[in-house]
Amino acid sequence: MRVSVIIPVYNAAAYIEKSVTSALFHNEVKEVIVVDDGSTDSSLGVLEQLQKADARVKIHNHEKNENRGRSASRNLGLRKATQPYIAFLDADDFYLENRFEADKKIFLENSEADGVYNAIGAHFYRKASNEEQQELQLTTLTEPILPEKLFHYLLNGEKGYFSIDGLTIKKQVLVEIGFFVESLIVAEDTDLLLKMTLCSKLWPGNIKEPVAIRGVHGGNIFNQNDLYRQQRTKMYESVINFTLKKKLPILKIDELLKWLFYYRNKEKYTLEEDLKYWFYLMKMQPQLLFSVLGIKYFPIIRKRKQLFPFLFR
Give residue limits of the domains in the chain. Answer: 1-92, 96-223, 226-312
Region 86-92 average pLDDT: 97
Which comes out higher in pLDDT, residue 308 or 216? 216
Could you tell me which residues are beta bridge partners of residue 86? 4, 169
How far is 210 from 306, CA to CA, in rounded Å? 45
Top CATH class of 1-92 equals: alpha beta
What is the tens place of the pLDDT at every residue in 168-179?
999 999 999 999
Residue (of 216, 162, 214, 169) closest to 190 by Cα position = 162
Looking at every residue in the chain, the average pLDDT score rounds to 93
Look up residue 68 and give its amino acid.
Answer: R
The greatest distance separating any two alpha carbons of the chain, rounded to the nearest whole angstrom, comes to: 74
Is it the case that residue 7 has pLDDT exceeding 60?
yes
* Cα 87-88-94 angle, rounded to 5 deg: 110
Region 12-25 average pLDDT: 97
Cβ(145)–Cβ(204) below 8 Å: yes
